[in-house]
Amino acid sequence: MKKSLSKDKLLLIEQFVSFYKKIPHKTFELIKKEVDMTGYAETISDYYIQEGEEKGKREGEIKATLSIIDNLLDKGDIDWSFITNSTGIDQQQYNQMQLEYQQLSVSQLH
């Protein structure tokens, strides 16, 4: 990973880690609370774990919605106005969701 980062990003990471090591944990918690960043990741690995969880959740939501719409379409005699009224998703949004789902699925393979 180090090879793929620019010198500026490496320097920024080094500065952050250096600063982070110098302050007591209690002080860091107070700073987070003060600036309302309690939901932020504390380390780079926490960030990637959190990002993966968010992508997984989004992928699951899309998969469920696509599955419902696909089942309705498989019935054959249901038109898009019924699907849109039932799900809130129109045909264009459905197509966009399919693309997003494919991208999320592919990104997890890398």
pLDDT at 41 (0 to 100): 58
Please give the model's pTM, rounded to 2 decimal places.
0.56
Q: Going by C-beta distance under 8 Å and a sequence separation of 6 or more, which residues neighbour residue 78?
A: 72
Burial of 26 (0-12, 13-18, 19+ CB in 10 A): exposed
Give the pLDDT of the chain (110 residues) as one tens digit per residue. Answer: 566 777 777 777 777 777 767 778 787 777 767 766 555 556 677 777 888 888 889 999 999 999 999 999 998 888 999 999 999 999 999 999 999 999 888 876 65
pLDDT at 54 (0 to 100): 87
pLDDT at 11 (0 to 100): 74
CA distance 26 to 38: 13
